[in-house]
Structure 1
Amino acid sequence: MNQISFFFVTFMRVLLLAGLGAMTMLVGCATSPYAEVWHKKPRLTGPSGPEPLATAEQSLTRAIHDERTKPLIAMGECLDGLQSASDELKRNPRDATANRDYNFGVSRIFQIIHDTNLDPWTQPLIVPTTNGEFVLTFKPDPRPEWNPALYDFTPADEFDVGGKYVTERITRDGIGAPIVAVEREESKNARGKAAPSRIYRTVSAVAKFQGRRCMLEFYDPLDSETARFYGRTVPLAADFTVPLAVMLQETDPGKHEVWRVLNPEKYAYTARIERLQPYNPNKTVVLVIHGLKDSQATWTPMINKLRGDPLIRKHYQFWFYSYPSGYP
């Protein structure tokens, strides 16, 4: 082998090793977690309230303890405690302890429904208690996509979140329980509706009592800054980050980033436009597009931050375009 050939072969080997090393780094980056979600046991924080809130808090604590073994009894304890907190909040909407207990109680309704498969969505749920029956139901919405039977609901206070793209938790104080709503089944016509194959939504739930009847009402906190609460307009509580984090962890868009560069034809089917919230014709669509060896996940920190701004929420909605970035 002459000297020129030797150097050529050596040079090609160096290039090959460098390429393999770079590819390993790319794959390693692609598999690092963009979002991490941990379940936690929710609990009331802060000092106990005065009566009747102290008794209400005890009922809510018992409900958490009993939910797995005696779900209907647990739901009754939850509704007893929630009604007491609701009555106090009606009397004094600025009572921070009553607000805390109320939001915690609404969240526990959804915790019990989620953990025990109780179903107040297909028909009103009769809940026996020592003080008489409660009826648990919901306020219907004419929009088909707001049918609660289509979703699994998990209270946002059951999650801690983190990860590369989830470094800040954006919330809003107010009345109501921030909820993560995940569509039970994948949509058969998601692409035609510019929707994800499975919807992950941020929802805020408010409970109102009419005697022994408890009605749950759902709000989209990206569209509503306030809620109606017994004749008053009050700030609506929200958690804008947890649904994004859950969606990122469940869908894991980073898993195909490298391969969509190397073999774009194979992943051509992944090219699509998707919206992150129900379409609102009164808001301007902001379409975000990622770059080479990337995915829609790259926009998560920006979208998470911007959703915390009420003016942005009022005027804009975010969609993304994702595609195999290996195409020239």
Structure 2
Amino acid sequence: MKPEDRTISVRVIAAVTCLAFLASCATAPHTVRGPEYAPTAKVMREARSATAPVAKRAADYLQAAAMTAPLLGTGIGTPACETYNTACGELTVLLRSSEGGRLWNQPLTLTGDKTYHLRLEPAGNAVWASNYFTAFESPDQVKEKLIRKKITQEGVGGALVGVRIVNPPEKFAPVKGITAAVTATLDFHATNATLALRRPAKQPTAIVEGKVRPLAANFSAPISYYEPPANLLLVGVMGALRSAHYEKKTGLYFLQPYDPDRIPVVFVHGLISTPFDWVQTINGLQADPEIRKRYQFWVFAYPTGNPVLYSALRLREELAKVDKLYPDHKDYVLVGHSMGGLLSQAQVTSMTRADWEQTLGEPGMQLFATLRPTDLVAKATTFKANPRIKRVVFICTPHRGSKMASGGIGAFAIKLISLPVDLVTTMKSEIPEETLGRSTMGGSLIASATLRQKRRISRF
């Protein structure tokens, strides 16, 4: 590991641990949009007119940006800069959303009081492909219900949320699509204009109007775009008690577009929880420019009432799908809280039939005597450590089991849990009846077996 990589890794571990408890950290000050540049007031009003033709409105936005672009050197947050930023952002939203995107992603000649020739900048290392996002949202339109402090960056350009939703849905995409921070900038050469969709998380500055300038960005809005259900606590509880209702939602979800140059951090939530529990943590991590640049954030969702080893199998299968679809990805970092830590532990631990027989004795022998390698129970209980996982961060993980879970409270809670019918049917068909009652797929057994095999746990 390179020294700089080790420094960043330590930074991530420290940040994750602190943020899991403090939920957020210092952010750049968020400035309310200031007054617009007075000489452009009339043209901006016309650009926002819903009754005017889209091409005319686009030309008006270009005119406002062209009038203020030479004044960007007067400072960030000035009326001229605010007008330029607003014109860039609103022009992008207008062209992408109006008339089914008819005017998007093609050279345009737009006429208002003046005629402009507009083109989109091609994709590059720090520029999004113009056809990648299917929609753009203004951060002002995103309700930030779970965010306590906005992570923003002051600069030039229109700060937007890029949203990608395609049909059929892409693998690992949330239902509402994949989002990212986007900064729209315009460069002018006389009446020729170039619209660039910049990636502020990857490169916080860009050459705009001939000078390197910081980019305006809102890093909280993309994750806030995923609105939590109104009854979030109830969803977590029902995911534990009635897991069958949430089985179809089990999976790995990318919260940002896949980037082969960034390290994937996979967050695994705990008991009676949902991936929304990580919103504050991810938002806080994005306050660090180096973390934004070097890491991408994914979440694993699962109903926590299912057996631990079964959920660990589902996580293992999801990571295998990533390996197949994106073989060039960088090695994973897993962050597991509580039960999620047990699922993460199972990804870096190797367990064999011999390990179980040594740990469980006769019940273990009875269990594996009838199992085939392709059986669900066999796949859930015997596995190899994932070599693509290089680090795991455990938060409040009961590695040695939980006295509460094995006591009266745990026994009472287990009686309230209803497992999916197909899962129960499969387990009953594969496990001998005399062994089934021993909770072979429970979390305490993997903990005890892992303790015996601690020398065989992968290094991470």
TM-score (norm 2): 0.53
How big is the shift at 1:184?
Answer: 3.8
Query: Which of 208, 214, 221 is matched with 1:242 structurally?
Result: 221
Structure 2 vs 1, CA of residues 187 and 86 (structure 1 numbering), >3 Å: closer, same or farther? farther
1:281-327 CA distances to partner (integer Å, 9 max, x unpaired)? Answer: 44332221111121111110111122122132133222211111111
Partner of 2:412: none
Contact kept in structure 2, 1:121 and 1:137, CA below 8 Å: no
Return the letter of the residue paired with 2:185.
V
Matches within 5 A, 1:256-295: 256-295=235-274
Question: In 2, Cα distance between the equivalents of 1:135 and 1:150?
Answer: 22
Aligned to 1:84, what secondary structure does the other structure show? helix
Q: Deviations over 1:88-132 (max 9, x none)?
A: 22x65668332212101112213433563353324223211233x
Q: CA deviation at 1:171?
A: 0.9
Question: Paired residue for 2:161, among 167, 172, 180?
Answer: 180
Q: Does 1:171 align with 2:155?
A: no
> Which residue type is aligned with residue 70 of structure 1?
P
What is the aligned partner in structure 2 of residue 21 from structure 1?
none
Tell me, what secondary structure is at the counterpart of 2:103?
coil
Q: Which amino acid aligns with 2:222?
A: P
- Structure 2: how far apart are the matches of 1:270 and 1:300? 18
SS in 2 for 1:67: coil
The whole-number CA distance in structure 2 between the counterparts of 1:189 and 1:150 is: 13
Counterpart for residue 82 of structure 1: 65
Q: Does 1:217 align with 2:196?
A: yes
1:62 to 46, 64, 72: 46
SS in structure 2 of the partner of residue 248 of structure 1? coil
The answer as to whether partners of 2:119 and 2:194 remain within 8 angstroms in 1 is yes
The answer as to 2:306 corresponding to 1:327 is yes
Give the counterpart letter for 2:102 in structure 1. Answer: D
The equivalences for 1:198-217 within 5 A come to 198-217=177-196
Mapped partners of 1:142, 1:305: distance in 2: 28
The separation in 1 between residues aligned to 2:279 and 2:66, in whole angstroms, is 38
Aligned partner of 1:153: which letter? F
Letter aligned with residue 151 of structure 2: I
Q: 1:230 to 1:274 in 2, by over 3 A?
A: same
User: For each residue in 1:144-177, what CA deviation from the matched residue of structure 2 results, as whole angstroms up to 9, or x when unmatched?
Assistant: 9834364111222x426342x2222221101111
Q: 2:134 maps to which residue? A: 151
Percent of aligned positions that are identical: 24
After TM superposition, the structure 1 stretch with the greater mean CA deviation from structure 2, 143-152 or 223-232, is 143-152
State the distance in 1 between where 2:248 and 2:202 align.
32
Structure 2 unmatched runs, 5+: 1-31, 308-460
Q: What is the aligned counterpart of 1:318 among 266, 275, 297?
A: 297
Q: Kindly indicate whether the alpha-carbon contact (under 8 Å) linking 1:120 and 1:137 is maintained by their aligned counterparts in 2.
A: no
Greater shift, 270-279 or 114-123, is seen at 114-123
In structure 1, C-alpha distance between the alignment counterparts of 2:169 and 2:97, rounded to whole Å: 27
**Higher percent of residues as strand:** 1
Per-residue Cα deviation, 1:42-83 (whole angstroms, up to 9, x for no partner): x9633x64xxxx32233113311x234433222222211110
Q: Where has structure 1 moved over 6 Å in runs of 4 or more?
A: 142-145, 250-255
Counterpart of 2:103?
120
Q: 1:209-230, CA deviations, whole angstroms, 9 ceiling, x for partnerless residues?
A: 1222221111222212111113
Higher relative contact order (CA 8 A, sep 6+): 1
SS at 1:218 equivalent: strand
Change (3 A) 1:181 1:160: closer
Q: Which residue of 85, 93, 107 maps to 1:103? A: 85
Gaps of 5+ in 1: 1-42
CA–CA separation in structure 2 for the residues paired with 1:68 and 1:125:
21
Distance 1:310 1:93, change over 3 A: same
Structure 2 residue identity aligned to 1:317: Q
Separation in structure 1 between the aligned mates of residue 168 and residue 148 of structure 2, nearest angstrom: 30
Paired residue secondary structure (1:59): helix
Contact 1:179 1:202 in 2 (8 A): yes
The alpha carbon displacement at 1:238 in A equals 0.4
- Comparing 117-126 with 210-219, greater Cα deviation is found at 117-126
Q: Letter of the aligned partner of 1:170 in structure 2?
A: I
CA distance in 1 between partners of 2:133 and 2:230 (Å): 19
Count of residues in Structure 1 that have an aligned counterpart in Structure 2:
273
Question: Structure 2 vs 1, CA of residues 227 and 209 (structure 1 numbering), >3 Å: closer, same or farther?
Answer: same
Which AA in structure 2 matches 1:107?
G
- Aligned CA distance change for structure 1 residues 252 and 145 (closer, same or farther; 3 Å): farther
Alignment match, 2:341: none
Q: 1:257 to 1:121 in 2, by over 3 A?
A: same
Give 1:273's aligned amino acid: L
8 Å CA contact 2:205, 2:212 repeated in 1: yes
Candidates 116, 123, 126, aligned match of 1:141: 123
CA contact (8 A) 1:196 1:275 kept: yes
RMSD across aligned C-alpha pairs, in angstroms? 3.0
**1:307 maps to which residue?**
286
